[in-house]
Structure 1
Amino acid sequence: MGFLVQLLAFILLPLLVSMSAEEINSSQPCDFLALFNFGDSNSDTGCMAAAFYPEILPYGQTFFHEPVGRASDGRLIIDFIAQHLGFPFLSAYINSIGTSYRHGANFAAGSSTIRRQNRTVFEGGSPFTFEIQTEQFNQFKQRTGKFFNKARKNSFRRHFPRPEDFAKAIYTFDIGQNDIAAAINRVGTEDSHAVISDIVDYFGKQVQYLHELGARTFWIHNSGPIGCLPVAMPVHNAMNQTPEAGYVDENGCVNYQNDMAREFNKKLKNMVVKLRAQFLDASLVYVDMFSAKYELINDANKEGFVDPSEICCGYHKDGYHLYCGNKAMINGKEIFAGSCDDPSKFISWDGVHYTEAANRWIANRMLNGSFSDPPLPITHSCSAQ
């Protein structure tokens, strides 16, 4: 009898899963009224540029034809998310010129971390930690609600979300990679496993805080393969030195760095599962960006890209690192770190960030739910629970 039950379960389970997928595809999409994003430079649409120094050409050259505060030649994944959901590009929260927040706001800032770091902006740090970003959101929600009800003119209301829009918004997250990079830099001086657990705990507390503020739909990206960033690869960091066996994988990615990202991702997923059980009125979708990005890196040539270790904009040779758009004297010669002829053939824009072409490729594959848990397209992500 037990064998028959197991056999029936084995036969019917795929059918049930298939039915569930068909029901999802045929059901009505979520009626999201706004989009709020939290993150680092992977999704910063102008925060750091507005707060400190604006980007310079050739940043922004492909789509915007001018620098627009994005660490890419064009659009970021968050831009493709906004377009996919029918929203305009998100304005950075602190950008006061030419902004509209009617359909949401972007609190992401370049170099941001989940935990506070002992670094200044000039040392590659950011004052806009995840905790600060959620507090900015709290202030944004309170102040827009206060003035929205007092405003008599439509001019104000055209530029800000309605109080009821916050509960019907989708909240997206792409942060943690800089925390992992900081932990990598301190390997040997602290317990990396404990640090990663602490980082994930910090993340969970901020998600809980946003839930208290009324957020109900969460779309959470894990960390990408940090060991596959070209500036991390030995080919750009050593002079004719061959790495030891096992140091890199078949794509030239640094194994121990990717292993730390994988550990972070595993703990992040476990945290998401716990929050699902805690918040029965919320939807939390975990998105495996690591797998999506690594698939592109692994299949680069097949997908029409050059070798994933190549960098479109910048000078990274013989141990010298001159980042995109800058000039310097190297070995008695003035070098300008300009752009390649065709960014659409490159995965890496500046050695750290992705090109618009790569961002589009990744977005096209993750927005349909292929890398999500549960496997929901973003348009149906309010139905995760």
Structure 2
Amino acid sequence: MDVNLGRRWRGPIAMALRSVEAVAFLVFLVVGFSIFMAMGRSKTLNQIELNNHSGHCNFPAIFNFGDSNSDTGGKSAAYDRLPSPNGDTFFGKPSGRFCDGQLVIDFIAEKLGLPYLSGYLDSIGTNFRYGANFATAGSTIQPVDAKIFEMGFSPFSLDIQLFQFEQFKARTIELYKEGRSSYIESSFPRPVDFSKALYTLDIGQNDLHGGFVSMTEKQVLASTPNIINQSAEAVKKLYQLGARSFWIHNTGPIGCLPFAVIYYPPKPENMDQSGCVKSHNEVAKEFNRQLQERVTQLGAQLPDAILTYVDIFSAKYTLISEAKKLGFANPHGYCCGHLGDYNVDCGRKAMVNGTEIIGASCSNPSEYISWDGVHYSHAANKWIANQILNGNLSNPPIPITGACHKLGHS
């Protein structure tokens, strides 16, 4: 614009032009600023929403349901105690965990500032003030029948675990109604804690494993919708019992377990780039796809529920596919026990052709992803937990410390 224009022009026309120019410039500033702010909001919307929920939820308790991936002593208490070297790496003694140390559920408790969960079935030295663990090794989502039980799976399937929780809650509330005492208040959750607690589920692997033993892969796939339906009914039942915050793991790459590679040795056309049984992993992926779809549906059906779906498959598969880069040895190796020609569980003894075989541990468990051919090592569980607890593998992408909030709500 000519800076001398105002000097040369006089009268009403000049005044009008200057007014128009001033208004136009003001409009330019306002519109430009609005566009700039809108672009900024567009670029950072997801981050803003995540920041809105970055605060700690202060869960007063955790109630866990699952199988050996999260069993902190249930099966060991119900049957015979797991022997050393199980537990030795972290606890210095057997801890009821099918691992040399901590499980992912232990790292969840640590992240939330809570003590490790006691197994509901463990009557020795237990404390349920901050929750309880109903998981037992060998558990399935499907109710156990004679066929499944004879295959060696746990009688404490998910429906039984729900019955146990329902009784635990009812009797705990009864105790508080009968009269408070220092023992009750220090040993059991407060009645209000049940609706504020985090409910974690990590189960389904044994349903697939049992299917591979007794059915064709096509039959296992055909059975998946029914299994997912039963899992969804479990979530609904917990919701009816007052649960609101759920942290739900999908199932891991079962075809990558050393057990699977040894007992179902993949032919070249059925081996993926990481040396895993490709078809078994494809079944697991389909199971997970259906599970995620159902969790999304449940989120719409249960208006007050906060359901977080956790892609633990991706975390575990990344660890296996990048094992050497991450400091681990052969991803299909294992540290404790014997598989293959003769089976001796970790820490056990057996006579094989007149010779006593001991399921001893390797010298450095931290080098192994698999502890005993089926379960993950302490070092692997720690790495996996670090991948999932920050929310990077969750849907919605909320860290576990914010899993009491719905994305988009304060």
Q: Is the 8 A contact 1:35 1:105 kept in 2?
A: yes
1:69 paired residue number = 96
Structure-2 separation of matches of 1:257 and 1:11: 45
Structure-2 separation of matches of 1:140 and 1:214: 13
The CA RMSD measured in Å over matched residues stands at: 2.0
1:88 paired residue number = 115
Please point out which of 281, 296, 299 is paired with 1:273.
296
Aligned counterparts, 1:187-266, within 5 A: 187-188=215-216, 191-233=219-261, 236-237=262-263, 243-266=266-289
1:292 paired residue number = 315
The DSSP-based 3-state class of the residue aligned with 2:268 is coil
| Residues 157-210 of structure 1: CA deviation (Å, up to 9, x unaligned) | 110011101010000000000001112223339733331000000000010000
The DSSP-based 3-state class of the residue aligned with 2:292 is helix
- The verdict on how the C-alpha distance between 1:225 and 1:14 changes in structure 2, with shifts beyond 3 A counting, is farther
- The verdict on how the C-alpha distance between 1:122 and 1:323 changes in structure 2, with shifts beyond 3 A counting, is farther
2:178 paired residue number = 150
Q: Is the 8 A contact 2:134 2:161 kept in 1?
A: yes
Structure-2 separation of matches of 1:175 and 1:200: 11
Please point out which of 368, 374, 377 is paired with 2:390.
368
TM-score by length of 2: 0.86
2:349 paired residue number = 327
Q: CA deviation at 1:31?
A: 2.2
TM-score by length of 1: 0.91
Q: How many percent of aligned residue pairs carry the same amino acid?
A: 48
| Residues 226-246 of structure 1: CA deviation (Å, up to 9, x unaligned) | 00110110xx348xxx84222
- Note the residue ranges of structure 2 that are not aligned, 5 or more in a row: 1-36
Aligned residues: 370
1:23 paired residue number = 52
2:399 paired residue number = 377
Structure-1 separation of matches of 2:406 and 2:169: 25
Q: Is the 8 A contact 2:217 2:283 kept in 1?
A: no
- The verdict on how the C-alpha distance between 1:278 and 1:189 changes in structure 2, with shifts beyond 3 A counting, is closer
Matched, 1:37 2:60: no
Q: Is the 8 A contact 2:266 2:277 kept in 1?
A: no
Structure-2 separation of matches of 1:189 and 1:181: 10
Q: CA deviation at 1:247?
A: 1.3
Please point out which of 341, 353, 370 is paired with 1:348.
370
**Greater Rg over alpha carbons, structure:** 2
- The verdict on how the C-alpha distance between 1:327 and 1:151 changes in structure 2, with shifts beyond 3 A counting, is same
Structure-1 separation of matches of 2:128 and 2:47: 39
Structure-2 separation of matches of 1:113 and 1:120: 9
Structure-2 separation of matches of 1:122 and 1:195: 19
Moved more, 116-125 or 308-317: 116-125
Q: Is the 8 A contact 2:266 2:276 kept in 1?
A: no
Q: Is the 8 A contact 1:285 1:384 kept in 2?
A: no
Please point out which of 131, 143, 155 is paired with 1:104.
131
The DSSP-based 3-state class of the residue aligned with 1:291 is helix
Q: CA deviation at 1:12?
A: 6.6
1:175 paired residue number = 203
Structure showing the higher helix proportion among its residues: 2
Structure-2 separation of matches of 1:106 and 1:13: 42
| Residues 208-229 of structure 1: CA deviation (Å, up to 9, x unaligned) | 0000000000000000000011
Q: Counterpart amino acid of 1:196?
A: T
Q: Is the 8 A contact 2:83 2:348 kept in 1?
A: no
Please point out which of 310, 317, 336 is paired with 2:358.
336
Q: CA deviation at 1:122?
A: 6.3
- Note the residue ranges of structure 1 that are not aligned, 5 or more in a row: 1-7
Q: Is the 8 A contact 2:204 2:251 kept in 1?
A: yes
Please point out which of 87, 92, 96 is paired with 1:60.
87
Aligned counterparts, 1:119-138, within 5 A: 119=147, 123-138=151-166
Q: Counterpart amino acid of 1:371?
A: L
| Residues 66-124 of structure 1: CA deviation (Å, up to 9, x unaligned) | 11110000111101111110111101112111111111000001100000233465641
